[in-house]
Structure 1
């Protein structure tokens, strides 16, 4: 009964319901001998199914996270924490605004690292879209809630994307004389982030958070059911962003 419930849910919720519609449309067109429409619908349905399952999403993310490890000797002189999205008007225990699920993982990594090293944390994240609030002050509130002294936090609230985060943060590093910054961001975002800092003349030590893939990851039958397209979207966004940054800056 439990397995049946999971299977039914996978195909009545998006994207599963759209996969079913496309596949049945393909069969209907096949019955009507409309070969072209049948092939297109079946192709779209199978493609959507493939991109929504964990093994395919992980394969795409693995190329971004490949060869990244947690440094054993993390002896940097400052932590750079890159923004990863906030819910700017969400009610929260200590104020208004809360980090996204992905950003929360970065925050927790930065907090534990700061407690270990007792260095400053540069929080980078500005207003991405007009009418929104900057990320950095919201993240700062969470850092202090989790025990990071306010005097140990430096705010960079002008950067709207990764390359601007790198540019404005590099200015802070040069102003304060930081030579060995530790870069904290999600593992899938690290390659583009490191490249961005290299383009503005700053060498950073990657300290990845939020790994989505790992060695010898096991998959069960449920991982082949249609699921969210979020991870596939994330991977494609990073690949496109990496190529754009590589050739545009």
Structure 2
């Protein structure tokens, strides 16, 4: 039920949907004063949430900053959280999302000897296709590109971050709970992920990827002019902040 509700409420995390709701309400409302006010609010909302400067200031306060591992750092396990891939049935091949950076970083760390094993944690994130298990899809891909089968572990039951932590804890077992694992996920998701894994007793060292506020350079243009791409970035950021708050309330972190 919690998983289903999270999918439904994700609609409300998008500023573009807020604007849509305001305009639809303004269209049907009869009182002219309220109609005008709703339109003004919609325009202001659209402008504010498409402003890249405001977004990057906010995101930089929330995101966990990326790190560079020391030359002598070594980890037995790197836990890579899902949300980066699915399977294209028509083309019969893996299809990656914008979050694939977490997998690419894990592969780089594996090839350069910083990590020994890659744990892919993620079941089906789809209500319509529950049989499409992301970790198994990614595992097949890793085998195709030459990663040793013995170095890949998968957790294929989780549907959210809390389950990522719970089921990965079961996978590792009690004998590996003293092992510090490298936790790899997006920088905006890292706060919630760390909290969930700490709750299960797994020691982690964060390795953030997918910086939402990366490559930002201040200019008069991005201070004043709207950027439509920022609307989706806000959706992702609001989703993570809301998710963190809900997890805190429910005692998951």
1:153, 1:219 → 2: CA distance? 45
Who is 2:106 aligned against? 110
CA gap 1:194/1:220 in 2 versus in 1, 3 angstroms = same
**Please, what is the CA RMSD of the aligned residues?**
2.8
Asked whether the 8 Å contact 1:68–1:187 carries over to 2, the reply is: yes
Q: Which has the larger radius of gyration?
A: 1
Whether 1:190 and 2:190 are equivalent positions in the alignment is yes
> How much does 1:71 deviate?
3.4
Give 3-state SS (helix, strand or coil) of 2:124's partner. coil
Q: How does 1:128-139 map to 2 (within 5 A)?
A: 128-132=125-129, 133-139=132-138
Who is 2:44 aligned against? 46
Give 3-state SS (helix, strand or coil) of 1:122's partner. strand
Who is 1:225 aligned against? 226
Who is 1:237 aligned against? 239
The gaps in structure 1 that reach 5 residues or longer are 1-14, 27-32
> How much does 1:147 deviate?
3.8
CA gap 1:231/1:48 in 2 versus in 1, 3 angstroms = same
1:180, 1:202 → 2: CA distance? 7
1:85, 1:66 → 2: CA distance? 19
The number of residues matched between the two structures is 221
Who is 1:61 aligned against? 59
CA gap 1:89/1:214 in 2 versus in 1, 3 angstroms = closer
User: Which stretch has the larger CA shift, 54-63 or 147-156?
Assistant: 54-63
> How much does 1:34 deviate?
4.0
Task: Could you list the structure 1 runs, at least 4 aligned residues long, displaced by more than 6 angstroms after superposition.
Answer: none
- Relative to the length of structure 2, the TM-score reads 0.76
CA gap 1:34/1:87 in 2 versus in 1, 3 angstroms = same
> How much does 1:157 deviate?
0.2
1:164, 1:66 → 2: CA distance? 21
2:192, 2:88 → 1: CA distance? 29
Who is 1:172 aligned against? 171
Q: How does 1:132-171 map to 2 (within 5 A)?
A: 132=129, 133-171=132-170
Who is 1:100 aligned against? 97
1:212, 1:219 → 2: CA distance? 18
The gaps in structure 2 that reach 5 residues or longer are 1-15
Deviations 1:150-184 (A, max 9, x none): 22100100011001001111122225626021001
Who is 2:118 aligned against? 121
> How much does 1:187 deviate?
0.9
Asked whether the 8 Å contact 1:128–1:160 carries over to 2, the reply is: yes
1:220, 1:105 → 2: CA distance? 30
CA gap 1:188/1:47 in 2 versus in 1, 3 angstroms = same
Asked whether the 8 Å contact 1:180–1:204 carries over to 2, the reply is: yes
Asked whether the 8 Å contact 1:115–1:148 carries over to 2, the reply is: no
